[in-house]
Copies of this chain bind each other. A is one copy, B any other.
Amino acid sequence: MATTGVTAPEGFSAAAVTAGIKPSGNPDMALVVNNGPRDDAAAVFTRNRVVAAPVKVTRAAVGDSRLRAVLFNAGNANACNGAQGDADAVEMQARAAEALGLSADSVAVCSTGLIGELMPMDKVRAGITDVAGQLGDHGSAAARAIMTTDTVPKEAHVMGSGWSVGGMAKGVGMMAPSLATMLVLITTDAIVPASVLDAALRSAAATTFNTLDIDGATSTNDTVIVMASGASGVEPNEDEFAAVLYEVCLDLMSQLQADAEGVTKRVSISVEGTSTDEQALNAARTIGRDSLVKCAMFGSDPNWGRVLAAVGMAEADMDPDNISVYFNGQAVCLASTGAPGAREVDLSGIDVDVRVDLGTGGQGRATVRTTDLSHAYVEINSAYST
């Protein structure tokens, strides 16, 4: 058993190979198989209306809340490839199922990489045969194979009582509400009926992955899947399971935030004092997406005026004359006016905490995680496809 990742819980095997999809020659295909005895599964997907072919295939496959395997590739998103893209995703699913002796609809497919290039199917076909023949305790290799511009693989593992939850994730840019450009696979050996799995995943995603907003962009490929093997023989109660699943999601989310493209700061933005949690979330996202706020963070500049200018455009109840802002716990703006010493607040550390009270006395509150807007972000994203 691995100590972390998707093969840390019992009942899962994984493999990774180099199929030649990535120009770098790094491993670029992975397969994770749930060996049972149970095959409960749940998933959440991108809200983008332009969805990649593998998302369509996987959404259909998980429709019956059962999955036995997930096939991954990195280097090509198989998005915006028309009917050929759809056919390729279906073929990938079918070939993986055949290699594993499973029915096609028990296999999910996840792709990440460049949009608008046809999958190199010759390489993919050979890769599927190859990866299906190397299954074992190779969760960490799988986590590495799904990386794109990620600088480190992301894995997690949290113990329950006699059972555990493991996971892996990739994603570095195009991260915004309704998931980041992220692929996440979570595994557990607990006995968890599919309906419980689904509710726990939606709840955990709402307060972890869906609060991460790196650049306001939402990918065509975002997918988070959870599979439960039941191999531990233990059935935790719903709250117990939900708590451990949340821990794993939070851990992976934090790793995604820390490895976001060009990040030099991890910024947490909390909003309170508005009427509902939803309005607080709107306000936090508006601040977290503001380029001027993000540039100020990059410069360690306590320019709270930009926070006020940003939040003034948010769809949220506020008292424009009674907004307060705190940087790293220190008041920089009270009643919409600068607080003494505001310009001297030290933001030179990696973590910056921004708290905003919109001053209505309402009980709504929410937190969003984002990063700064750095030269490296521009550098990485101005030279990707060519």
In angstroms, how far is the closest chain B Cβ from the Cβ of A50? 3
- In the complex, what's the smallest C-beta–C-beta distance from A118 to chain B, in angstroms? 8
Across the A-B interface, the 6 shortest Cβ-Cβ residue pairs = A115-B305, A299-B382, A50-B312, A82-B337, A295-B381, A48-B312
Q: Are B313 and A47 in contact (CB under 8 A)?
A: yes
Could you tell me if B218 and A301 are in contact, using CB atoms closer than 8 angstroms? no
How near does chain B come to A319, taking the closest CB pair, in angstroms? 9
A378 — which chain B residues lie within 8 A by C-beta?
Answer: 295, 298, 373-375, 377-378
The reply to whether B309 and A219 contact each other, CB–CB distance below 8 Å, is yes
Q: Which of A133-181 contact B (CB under 8 A)?
A: 173-174, 176
Query: Apart from A173-B292, A219-B309, what are 4 other A-B pairs with CB-CB below 8 Å?
Result: A49-B312, A85-B337, A218-B312, A291-B381
Contact A216 B50 (CB under 8 A): no
Chain B residue at minimal CB-CB distance from A84: B337
Residue among A290, A292, A384 facing the most chain B CB atoms (10 A cut-off): A292
Which of the residues B291, B299, B375, B385 comes within 8 Å of A305, measured between beta carbons?
B385
A117 to B303, CA, bound (A): 11
Mark out the residues of chain A between 227 and 274 whose CB falls within 8 Å of any chain B CB in the assembled complex: none
How far apart are the CA atoms of A169 and B186 in the complex, in Å? 55
If A291-B291, A343-B385 touch, does A308 touch B173 (CB 8 Å cutoff)?
A: no
Known: A48-B309, A82-B336, A116-B333. A215 touches B291 (CB 8 A): yes
Docked-complex contact B386 and A174, CB < 8 angstroms: no
Show 23 residue pairs from A and B whose CB-CB distance is below 8 angstroms, ordered by the A residue: A48-B309, A48-B312, A49-B312, A79-B309, A80-B338, A81-B338, A114-B305, A116-B337, A116-B342, A174-B309, A216-B290, A216-B291, A218-B312, A219-B309, A292-B381, A295-B378, A295-B382, A296-B381, A301-B383, A301-B385, A302-B386, A373-B378, A375-B378
Question: In the complex, what distance in Å separates the CA atom of A173 from the CA atom of B379?
Answer: 20
Chain A residues numbered 62-90 whose CB sits less than 8 Å from any CB in chain B: 77, 79-82, 84-85
Select one of B217, B301, B318 contacting A291, CB under 8 A: B217
Give how many copies assemble into the complex: 2
Among A85, A305, A337, find the residue whose CB has the most chain B CB atoms closer than 10 A: A305
Q: Are A81 and B337 in contact (CB under 8 A)?
A: yes
Q: A53 → chain B, closest Cβ, in Å?
A: 11
Hey, what's the 0/1 contact readout for A347-386 against B, CB within 8 Å counting as 1?
0000000000000000000000000011101110111111
Given A335-B82, A378-B375, A386-B301: A217 and B290 within 8 A (CB)? yes
Chain A 177-194: CB-based contact to B (< 8 A → 1; otherwise 0): 000000000000000000
Quick one: closest B residue to A380, CB to CB? B295
- Nearest residue (CB) in B for A298 is B382
Contact partners of A116 in chain B: CB under 8 A: 304-305, 308, 333, 337-338, 342
Cβ of A220 under 8 Å from chain B: yes
Q: Please, which residues of chain B bring their CB within 8 A of the CB of A85?
A: 337
The answer to the question of A100 belonging to the interface, with a C-beta cut-off of 8 Å to chain B, is no
Whether A320 is near chain B, meaning CB under 8 Å from some CB there, is yes
With a cutoff of 8 Å between Cβ atoms, the chain B residues found around residue A289 in the complex are 216
